[in-house]
Every structure is written in C-alpha cells, then in structure tokens.
Amino acid sequence: MNDVITWYVTWIIVMPTVVLGLLVMPLIWGLMIMGIIRWFCWMKRCRSSEVGP
C-alpha cells in the first residue's frame, strides 16, 4: 500500500513537470532562435551601414 502511495505521489509530481517542460522548451527554443536571427540581422545591418555609403 505504501509503495502505491509513493508511486502516485511521484507520478503526480513528475507528470506536470514533464508536461510543462515539453510545453515550455519549444517556447524557449523559439525565443533563442529569434534572438539569434535578430542578432545576426543587427550585425549585418551594422556592417552594411559601416561598409556602405
């Protein structure tokens, strides 16, 4: 009986964290990718503005 309770508790604790991780990770990756793309665009713009007339 005690093993079942501990199993339920671990399941209740682990499942939401896994679901939250799966939901949050793509958001974090998207933000990181967007930030990197913006940084590259900013660097290119600065270089082109320096090099260009």
DSSP track, 4-31: HHHHHHHHHHHHHHHHHHHHHHHHHHHH
Arithmetic mean of pLDDT, 1-22: 91
d(CA 32, CA 40) in angstroms, rounded, equals 12
What contacts 18, CB < 8 A, 6 or more positions away? none
pLDDT over 70, % of the chain = 85
Q: Which pLDDT belongs to residue 43? A: 87
Q: What is the mean pLDDT of the chain?
A: 87
Domain ranges across the chain: 25-53
Other Cβ atoms closer than 10 A to 31? 10
Question: pTM for the complete prediction?
Answer: 0.47
pLDDT band at residue 46 under the 50/70/90 scheme: confident
Residue 35 has pLDDT above 90, yes or no: yes
